[in-house]
Amino acid sequence: MNKFLIVANTDKDINLKLSQDIVAYINEKGAKAVVVSDMQQHYNGTTIKPEYLEDVEAVIVLGGDGTMLRAAHSIGTYQVPLLGVNLGTLGFLTEVEESNAYKAIDRLLADDYSIEKRMMIEGRTGDTSFSCLNDVVITRAGFSRIIGLNIYVNEQLLDTYEADGVIVATPTGSTGYNLSAGGPIISPKSKAVVVTPISPHSLTSKSVVFDSADRIRIEVVKKRRTQETEAIVSFDGADNVELSAGESVEVTCSEREIQLIKMYDVSFYSVLREKIGGA
């Protein structure tokens, strides 16, 4: 590899110091790199102008898992692999720690790495559609105490949740909000989707894991006569859309995949033990 794009989180890379140092290092090695950040007009956290992605062989993301998610969205349909440098906390997606950033860059320049593909899901409501690496989340809006949600799988009613909301997560997203809500952890190489209720008002409402070929539709049920907007759906923690009673969100497996650059031959289970504790 010899042409890179660096996506920087300016809250974590103050004054873009690390970004500029990495650009200088790459240039010294005879390769090319440019930086985009949320302070620059050509990157607003949602899209990167196509001219910055042309001929790019890798995107180096400086930040945390949230920055990685935004970068995954921002590259659109460009099949460019991402390498995450962790400037945050847990960093399930950002494999490289800041102290090892330059060693990782040396390996990129020497083409010494592997690629791991991660599935994405497509969330649709009305004319709105987003590809998600982590999850689609529907939560209560306004002062609604709980919301009613009909869960359909391949147009067959599975269950009705009365809860604070519901999470539809990919294997990658299973270690995020899904895990906090009591959902299961799924190996990131799996082709599956997990649906987890958020604070369900029932002792029997549990997470369910589905095949990636299943179509999941979540319909909002009217709960309060005085409130028009019953719920809000977010796609990877952003792109919020209000939902009224009777409206639905459909989630299917996306045709897109995200390519993550892997530097270390460390299993997911070892990372899991390190990040969230264990023996």
Residues labelled as active-site residues? 65
As to burial, measured by CB atoms within 10 angstroms (0-12 exposed, 13-18 middle, 19+ buried), residue 25 is: middle
Sign of CA pseudo-dihedral 15, 16, 21, 27: negative
Report which DSSP code applies to 172.
G
CA atoms of 149 and 139, how far apart (whole Å): 10
CA distances for 266 relative to 94, 194, 273, angstroms? 13, 25, 11
Phi, psi of 247 (to 5 degrees): -85, 155
Contact 69, 134 (CB under 8 A): yes
Q: What is the largest CA-CA distance in the chain?
A: 65
Please give the helix or strand (H or E) that residue 259 lies within, else none.
strand 248-262
CB half-sphere exposure, 89, CA atoms < 13 A: 3
Phi-psi region for residue 129, left (φ > 0), alpha (ψ -120 to 50) or beta? Answer: beta
Give the closest residue to 69 by CA, choosing from 1, 152, 130: 130
Q: How many other CB atoms are found less than 10 A from the CB of residue 80? A: 18
Residue type, 45: G
